[in-house]
Structure 1
């Protein structure tokens, strides 16, 4: 499990786009998004760099917390 900070995630539309990007990366990926805290918590053994790359491609740079 790991947590990423996504400072450019500011609205529900952002959450929708992030959901789409993560589901395209891995259909059964388990994650929680906390919009007010601007965090994404991933409950999987997927490589963090793959998640960060998918988020960046979607326009949402992320930093490991």
Structure 2
């Protein structure tokens, strides 16, 4: 399980875009987004760096990330 602090998320479109970007790296990934806390929790076997890069490439800056 990974937890990422992600900026610029404000609506359900953002949730969809972030989810889609993670699932482009790992189609089986489970993604939970908290707009209020600006956190994304991901259950995935993919590397954390690849997931963070995909989210950033989608236009949502990842300010911190960690395996939890």
Question: Shorter-normalised TM-score: what interval?
Answer: 0.7 to 0.9
User: What is residue 40 of structure 1 aligned with on the other side?
Assistant: 40
Which structure dedicates a bigger proportion of its chain to strand? 2
Q: CA deviation at 1:45?
A: 3.1
Matched residue pairs, number?
A: 65
When the two structures are superposed, what TM-score results if normalisation uses the length of structure 2?
Answer: 0.82
RMSD: 1.3
User: What is residue 51 of structure 2 aligned with on the other side?
Assistant: 51
- Say if 2:6 and 2:61, in contact at 8 Å, map to a contact too: yes
Task: Flag structure 2 segments of 5+ consecutive residues without an equivalent.
Answer: none
After the TM superposition, list the runs of 4 or more consecutive aligned residues in structure 1 that deviate by more than 3 angstroms.
none
When the two structures are superposed, what TM-score results if normalisation uses the length of structure 1?
Answer: 0.85
